[in-house]
Amino acid sequence: MSASGRIRIIGGQLRNSRLNVPELPGLRPTPERVRETLFNWLAPVIDGARVLDLCAGTGALGIEALSRGAGATQFVESHALAARALKDNLARLKVSTADVAASPAQVWLGNTGTPFDLVFLDPPFADNLWAGLACTLEQGGWLAPSAWIYVESPRQQPLDLPDNWVIHREGVAGDVQFALYRRTDAKPLAATDPSL
C-alpha cells in the first residue's frame, strides 16, 4: 500500500480516482501493474458483467471493474473498518451499481446464490481460504456457466481449485501469483483414441 493510504483506479470512467485505504494488518491491495494486466485480459468480457468481489479489502478490483463497464458489483468484506471505508469510497465516487456486505465470505456465501459472470477471489493470504471458498462458489450456484474467476495467492502456493476451472492466463509479480480461470461445464473427452 502507498504511504499515503490511497490507491488509484487506473482505467475507465473513474480513471485516476483515489481510494482512501485504512491501515489494517493483512490488507494487501492488488498492485497497479497486476490490475492493469488483469483488466487487459478481461477487456473483451467486462462490459455489463455481474461481478462479485469476495474478500474485497479495499474494493480496488471491483471498483476498477465498474469503472471499465461492469454492470454491477457485489462487495463482500469481513472487516468492519474496511467495509466502511469501501462504502465511503463508493459514495464519494457516486457509484450506485454496487452493494457492500460486511460479512465473512463463507457466511455470505451460505445464502442462496445468484450467478455472477466474474468473481475476484483474493482472500487474506494468512487465512488459506482458497479451496473452501472455491468449492462453495462452485457448488452454491454463484457462478454463471462460463464465469471468469480471478485468483490471487502467494507465489508457489499450491491451490486446490475445482477441476472445471481452466486457466486462461496467469502471471507472477514479486511474491504473488495471479491467474484468470474460465469455468466450464464440459467433461473431458475419454482418451479411447490413441490419436487424441
Coil, strand or helix at 75: strand
Residue 180 and residue 149 in contact, taking contact as beta carbons nearer than 8 Å: yes
Residue 4 banded pLDDT, cuts 50, 70, 90: very low
Residue 90 lies in a domain: yes
- The reported pTM is 0.89
Q: Average pLDDT, stretch 61-69?
A: 96
Residue 29 lies in a domain: no
What CATH code is carried by the domain that includes residue 62? 3.40.50.150
Query: How high does pLDDT run on average in the chain?
Result: 88
Q: What is the pLDDT of residue 22?
A: 82
pLDDT per residue over 33-49, tens digit each? 999 999 999 999 999 99
Q: Residues of the chain with pLDDT > 70: what percent?
A: 91
Q: Average pLDDT, stretch 89-97?
A: 95
Q: What is the pLDDT of residue 173?
A: 92
User: What domain count does the chain have?
Assistant: 1
Residue 120 lies in a domain: yes
**Torsion sign, CA atoms 52, 35, 38, 106:** negative
pLDDT per residue over 105-120, tens digit each? 999 999 887 899 999 9
Residue 14 lies in a domain: no
Do the bridges between strand 116-121 and strand 143-154 make them parallel or antiparallel, or are there none, so unpaired?
Answer: parallel
Residue 7 lies in a domain: no
Q: What is the pLDDT of residue 111?
A: 87
Domain range for 177 is 47-183
Q: What is the pLDDT of residue 165?
A: 96
